[in-house]
Amino acid sequence: MLSTDGHKAVALTVMFFVTLSCSMLALYVRNLFYKHVSNSRAKFILSGCLCFGAGVLMSTVFLHILPENRETFQTAMEENYLAETEYPIAEIMMCVGFFVVYFIEETVHTCLDRHHYEKHHHNHSDMQITQKGPKTSEEAKANAKKLRATVDRCSELRDSFSRRSVISLAVFTTDHGQVNHGYDGDVTKSGGVENGSPEDGSQTKLQGHAFVKDGSLVSTAMAVIALCFHGLMEGMSLGLEEEYKDVWILFGALSAHKIFLSFSMSIELLELGVPLKPFLLTMFIFAMASPVGGLIGALVAGYTAEHDNAASVLAPAFLQSISGGTILYVTFCEVLERERAKEGGGHMKLCCLVLGFGVLAGLETVGGHHHGHPANETLMGEIIT
């Protein structure tokens, strides 16, 4: 029979291949799906799936991770590893994890936004220096009209860009040496943004979501790091589990989220016209994030199991609380915030959210909440074995 570490290895390996397979499946399903289902209905179905995954993650945080951490901190107090207090330590540490992710997201946003502004300002200055003056008053009016349209569109794009979560922001190199950014925008296949005014012509097509090549490496690296950070922390929460039954419960919750996230992310990247090699590399890195986080969590759990001291008890609890805050951020500030902003299907999204929450809540009801106490073996253990 496999040990707990063996179950973790199997779960993380399966999670890697499932995540990568869903990404590859998008290559085939994209064309097939949109041929037989209207574009609006396809987005409607995908939105429901993402809300279902958010419900599963919400249930994971409040019904699984948080009670387990409360129990761990209570044990630490009983063993005199921590001073007796009624202060909600588990809740505070989970909020710390939430704020850490928030800080990282805003920092990456600021850097990307600043780089975009400086590049646009530089290009605009060059245009002012080299552009020839109008020869007639009619030409001057036409140029002024185009410039106003350009400035208005830039402002609109910057406002939209500033509101996006880094997780929803795809940054990838195209065939032309530029980097596409986009999610739910009016993005063309080449990565440009259509102005929507025929009379402006090609002069008014803005590369509002593009960086030039000299800044693409840093921008891409920052976005990929931000994207994978969540998967890393989610995997760490799995690696820190002490019982194999808890490993598989959390595996189911995280997989439900990652399956839909990887599939929807792949669809969006393909819609943006991302070349195959950058697409495969990005999805491989995304799929590897959780197994790497799980390995780190397992190493920490293994170390603490061999050392009976305050650090061995408190370190996993603090790390798991922070990872719980990460999952909380993904649930509310990433998935639900984005899906609720989309028009239509509000009650359907709510039903999917409640259904996802109810699925894991039902598993917790059947399996019980024991977290490392052999005397409380329940039906869930029998089902898994």
Q: Give me the sheet containing 210-211, strands edge to edge.
A: 172-173, 179-180, 210-211
Query: Which 8-state DSSP code applies to residue 64?
Result: I
pLDDT in tens, 4-52: 788 888 888 998 898 888 888 877 776 676 666 666 777 787 788 778 8
CA-CA distance, 185 to 19, in Å (whole number)? 25
> Nearest-CA neighbor of 262 among 112, 108, 53, 106?
53
Q: Which of 349, 353, 350 is nearest to 44 (CA)?
A: 349
- What length is written for the chain? 385
pLDDT in tens, 74-132: 888 888 888 888 899 999 999 998 898 888 878 877 887 776 666 666 665 555 545 55
The per-residue b/e assignment along 154-186, b for 16 or more CB within 10 angstroms, e otherwise, is: beebeebbeebbbbbbbbbbbeeebbbbbbebe
Number of Cβ within 10 Å of residue 329's Cβ equals: 23
What burial class does residue 212 get, using C-beta atoms within 10 Å of its C-beta: 0-12 exposed, 13-18 middle, 19+ buried?
middle
Q: Quote the CA–CA distance of 185 and 194 in Å, as a whole number.
A: 10
Instruction: Judge contact between 111 and 222, C-beta under 8 A.
Output: yes
Which tokens sit at 99?
A: 């704020």
- Contact predicate 102/167, CB 8 Å: no
Q: CA 86 to CA 217: how far, in whole Å? A: 48
Give which of 344, 372, 330 is closest to 74, Cα–Cα. 372
Q: Provide the token pair at 346.
A: 């509000």
Query: Could you list the pLDDT tens digit for every one of the 385 residues in the chain?
Result: 778 788 888 888 998 898 888 888 877 776 676 666 666 777 787 788 778 878 877 887 898 778 888 888 888 888 888 888 889 999 999 999 889 888 887 887 788 777 666 666 666 555 554 555 555 666 666 666 666 665 555 444 444 443 444 444 433 333 333 444 433 444 443 333 344 444 444 433 334 334 333 333 344 444 445 456 667 777 877 887 777 888 887 788 778 767 766 776 676 667 666 778 888 888 888 888 888 888 888 887 777 666 667 776 777 778 778 878 877 887 888 778 888 888 888 899 999 999 988 887 887 776 555 444 433 333 333 333 3
Q: What proportions of the chain, in percent to the nearest 5, are helix, strand and coil?
A: 80, 0, 20
- And the tokens for 27? 């290559």
| Average pLDDT value over all residues in the chain | 68
pTM score, two decimals? 0.55
Which residues in 362-372 are b (16+ Cβ under 10 Å) and which e? ebbeebeebbe
Measured between alpha carbons, how far is residue 161 from residues 87, 119, 127, 164, 356 in Å?
39, 15, 24, 6, 30
Count of CB atoms situated within 10 Å of the CB of 348: 14
